[in-house]
């Protein structure tokens, strides 16, 4: 069964990047953070006009500085807002196929040279990295190169295959030898770290 399910999902720090449920928590944190900053800016400007009758005070400086992180929070939120959490039943099936292997979920990458893309599942195995994307129009070759460039920069390169057909992805996982996170190589964990690092 899923370790974190939609029925047990809560806004808590235990759901970290790479785990099922992180996307929902990430969206919520970004939206709350951006809204708090926006309200803070509005509050500072109101105080300026009500108390000082001008916007030329040190409070205006704080308001202007707060606008930068607010814009970044909103930009990140809107860049991932279109991505949805996969069904819990599907996640359970994938985890059953991968066992205690190195599986990461809900990897969203904000590509500065193109549109953001998502990997609901990334399985790191001794034979390579296997990722699934629901985007049928994804430029698979370019996306594989994008991810592998980061792996190469950190001396963690390896074969990578992206699947856009869930049935084919599941069949590939079924044909892989079982892998255990506790006994896997340090190299595989380093690859996992890089993939999580490039995720939003």
Q: Is 53 left (phi over 0), alpha (psi -120 to 50) or beta?
A: left
d(CA 56, CA 64): 12
* More confident: 52 or 76: 76
pLDDT in tens, 126-166: 999 999 999 999 999 999 999 999 999 999 999 999 999 99
With H, G, I as helix, E, B as strand and everything else as coil, classify residue 69: helix
DSSP 109-120: E--TTS--EEEE
pLDDT in tens, 75-121: 889 888 889 999 999 999 999 999 999 999 999 998 777 788 999 99
Does residue 2 contact residue 20 with C-beta atoms inside 8 Å? yes
Beta-sheet strand order (sheet of 117-125): 102-109, 117-125, 128-132, 160-163
Tokens of 37: 């900053």
* pTM flag (> 0.85): no
């Amino acid at each position: 069964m899923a370790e974190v399910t939609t029925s047990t999902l809560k806004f808590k720090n235990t759901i970290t990047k790479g785990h099922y449920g992180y996307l929902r928590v990430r969206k919520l944190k970004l939206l709350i953070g951006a809204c708090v900053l926006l309200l803070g800016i509005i509050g500072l400007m109101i105080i300026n006009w009500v108390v000082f009758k001008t916007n030329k005070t040190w409070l205006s400086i704080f308001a202007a500085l707060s606008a930068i992180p607010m814009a970044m929070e909103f930009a990140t939120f809107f860049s991932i807002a279109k991505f949805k959490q996969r069904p819990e039943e599907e996640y359970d099936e994938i985890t059953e196929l991968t066992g205690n292997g190195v599986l990461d979920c809900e990897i969203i990458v904000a590509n500065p040279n193109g549109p953001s893309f998502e990997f609901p599942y990334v399985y790191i195995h001794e034979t390579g990295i296997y990722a699934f994307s629901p985007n049928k129009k994804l430029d698979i070759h370019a996306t594989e190169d994008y991810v592998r460039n980061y792996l190469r920069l950190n001396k963690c390169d390896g074969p990578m295959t992206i699947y856009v057909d869930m049935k084919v992805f599941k069949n590939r996982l079924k044909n892989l030898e079982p892998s255990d996170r506790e006994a896997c190589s340090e190299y595989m964990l380093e690859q996992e770290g890089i993939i999580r690092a490039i995720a939003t």
